[in-house]
Amino acid sequence: MNTMAIRSSALPRPDSGQTGLSLIELLLALGLGVLVIAVAGTVFLASRRAYVLQENSVQLSETGRYGIDRIVRAVRQAGFVDPGLASVLDFGIDSDKAAISGLDARSLKSTTVGIDNAVTAAVNGSDVLAVRFAGTDDGSVVDCAGFAVGSASGSTSGSTASGNSANPGWSIFYVARGSSGEPELYCKYLGRQAWSSTAIARGVESFQVLYGIGPRDAARPVRYLTATQVNALDAQLTLRGVTLQQREQDKNRQTHWKNIREIKIALLLRSSDPVRADNTNLTHDLFGSAYSEPMAAIDPGVRINEAMLPLQDRKRLRKVFSTTIPVRNPAR
């Protein structure tokens, strides 16, 4: 036997397949892997940003519509008196106070009476709107906080969640900063024992009100005024009466606040998160540029320029919500 042949057949033959990667191939594979991960991460982050943007946009729209709806419901109740109780209530007589009142560029404290002792630290010149109305015996009339308001006849005394049976109902709207520093639309109301307020819409940067005023026999307002302008008209009234009480009653008879036919309201809301990537120097005109151009200097808050806002707030989504509300109940 050929020993050389035996030795040759016993030796292992080299594998003809590939047994490993070269350094160049390994580096190329790692590079492709990193590229795939980077692309996947970019797609994920883009999807996440789109989701957060959409979520904030939906939240913004829902909050704006909710805030507008609460104000509209309250204004429609202004001056309401239950026809069945009108003969036994003093509410709504000529010498009584107007059912609608307001302040420009002011905020309120929760526990003070009505809109008295207003504070000047208003959020972006936001206004105050106060609505007064009578309750009902069945508790079907509610204030802006959702509490039933009893009538002043006393038959519902002690049975309502809010309101004093000897007082009318109140729905007062104003903007203040919450405990987190976020601006919020508040509803102030007269509780069983004292005044109180609750936040109803978060992220409200400006709340503006205009009052459509006209003669009592006018179906539509002749002009729109700010609260300051309405009060200026009242300051020009010639009041009759010997005592201070008599002159106050005469002012209540003549006040221009009883000639309000429509109310225009506007809210500027911002999103919870800084999700924008576009230009942060936008200008928001709450009643349109035609009003803001001549009035922005004397009616603070009707024009908000993002360049004037704190830097950390400029990347938020913003949207204006507005509507016009007819005053349904006739003024007395």
Residue from 143, 131, 129, 133 nearest 168 by CA: 133
Neighbours of 289 (CB within 10 A): 10
Residue from 248, 77, 91 nearest 172 by CA: 77
Q: How far is CA 324 from CA 30, 56, 170, 210, 256, in A?
A: 63, 26, 20, 9, 19
**Is residue 126 within 8 Å of 174, Cβ to Cβ?**
yes
Q: Strand, helix or coil at 143?
A: coil
**Is residue 103 within 8 Å of 120, Cβ to Cβ?**
no
Q: In DSSP terms, which residues pair with 207 in a beta bridge?
A: 267
Rounded Cα gap, residues 79 and 330, in angstroms: 7
Tokens of 262: 């429509």
**Is residue 60 within 8 Å of 203, Cβ to Cβ?**
yes
Tokens 């205009």 -> residue: 210
User: Which phi and psi angles does 184 have, rounded to 5°?
Assistant: -135, 150
Tokens of 203: 């992220």
Rounded Cα gap, residues 45 and 220, in angstroms: 53
User: Which phi and psi angles does 34 have, rounded to 5°?
Assistant: -65, -40
Residue from 260, 326, 258, 212 nearest 94 by CA: 258
**Is residue 85 within 8 Å of 107, Cβ to Cβ?**
no
Task: List strands edge to edge, sheet with 223-225.
Answer: 223-225, 204-213, 260-270, 318-326
Question: What is the residue extent of each domain of the chain?
Answer: 48-326
H/E run at residue 28: helix 23-76
End-to-end CA distance of the chain: 133
The pLDDT profile of the chain, 332 residues, written as one tens digit per residue, is 555 554 555 555 555 555 667 778 777 778 887 888 887 777 766 676 766 778 888 999 999 999 999 999 999 999 888 766 655 455 556 778 899 999 999 999 999 999 999 999 999 999 999 999 988 888 888 999 999 988 764 433 333 333 333 468 999 999 999 999 999 999 999 988 889 999 999 999 999 999 999 877 776 788 999 999 999 999 999 999 999 999 999 998 999 999 999 999 999 999 998 888 887 789 999 999 999 999 999 999 999 999 999 888 889 999 999 999 999 876 55
Q: What is the 3-state secondary structure (H, E, C) of 261-311?
A: EEEEEEEEEECCCCCCCCCCCCEEECCCHHHHHHHCCCCCCCEEEHHHCCH
**Is residue 307 within 8 Å of 281, Cβ to Cβ?**
yes
Q: Which residues make Cβ contacts (< 8 Å) with residue 204, sequence separation at least 6? A: 67, 123, 126, 175, 183, 184, 185, 267, 268, 269
Query: pTM of the predicted model, to two decimals?
Result: 0.82
Q: How far is CA 284 from CA 11, 176, 217, in A?
A: 87, 20, 36
Rounded Cα gap, residues 88 and 294, in angstroms: 48
Buried b / exposed e across 20-41, counting CB within 10 Å, b at 16+?
eeeeeeeeeeeeeeeeeeeeee
